[in-house]
Amino acid sequence: MKKIAIFASGRGSNFIAIYKKTITGYIPAEISLVVSNNPTCGAIDFARNNAIPTFIFNKTKYPDTNIQNVMLAQILLKSEIDLICLAGYMKMIPENIVVKYKNRILNIHPSLLPDFGGKGFYGMKVHEAVIQSNAIESGVTVHFVDDKYDHGPIIIQEKVKVTADDTANVLANKVLILEHYVYPKVVKAFCEERIIFENNKPKIEVILEN
């Protein structure tokens, strides 16, 4: 059983989607830790209500950045974390964590990267930008995390159509439904060690059933 740490700053709907799939056994893992910069967010409330350990990681608690980063590394090590899943986490992952957990940190972004990604593109801002661009499609991207926002090797992308009468809110709902399907699928593949690299690009290995 793999051990997962969730990093979240808001309501944590992707966290909850992944958690439910671990409970049913679809994902062969357990969520062992939830990390957040926001002690009052929905993700922390859900974690505490379901007896999942939490760790608050912000400047209020740890004013010294170096101490912050050391404490985060220590709690991840103590929790024996195999995989970190970002689920609406609004902060840059510290360099020491990116290096230590290379190709073991997943992020999901609500657009088809590299379009509408990078610093400043988060939440509803992404969908508003997609609508304003008159794009005919959007979707989700799951990728490994590196030292840049919404960067790193892309594992999978899934698309949704953008219709002429879509608003940013309508598009956000379409994409969120897709996120809750795609993200657990990728986490499952990671936990089953089915994400492989070919020509330095990750792909999900499909196991054919007899």
pLDDT at 120: 87
Domains of the chain: 2-204 (3.40.50.170)
Point out the catalytic residue in the list 109, 127, 143, 180.
Answer: 109
Low-confidence residues of the chain: pLDDT under 70: 207-210
Whole-number pLDDT of residue 207: 67
DSSP one-letter string for 98-111: HHHTTT-EEEEESS
pLDDT of residue 210: 38
pTM, whole model, 2 decimals?
0.94
The whole-angstrom separation of Cα 120 and Cα 122 is 6
Query: Contact 50/16 with Cβ under 8 angstroms?
Result: no
Reference 129, options 143, 144, 113, 111; nearest CA is: 111
Residue 127 falls in the annotated catalytic set: no
Element housing 157 (H / E): strand 154-161
CA-nearest of 85, 72, 100 to 143 is: 85
pLDDT on residue 119: 86
Give residue 208's pLDDT: 54
β-bridge pairing 105-109 and 83-86: parallel
**Residue 192 carries which DSSP code?**
T
Rg (CA), the chain: 17
Give the CA dihedral 36, 83, 113, 124, nearest 10 degrees: -30
pLDDT at 206: 81
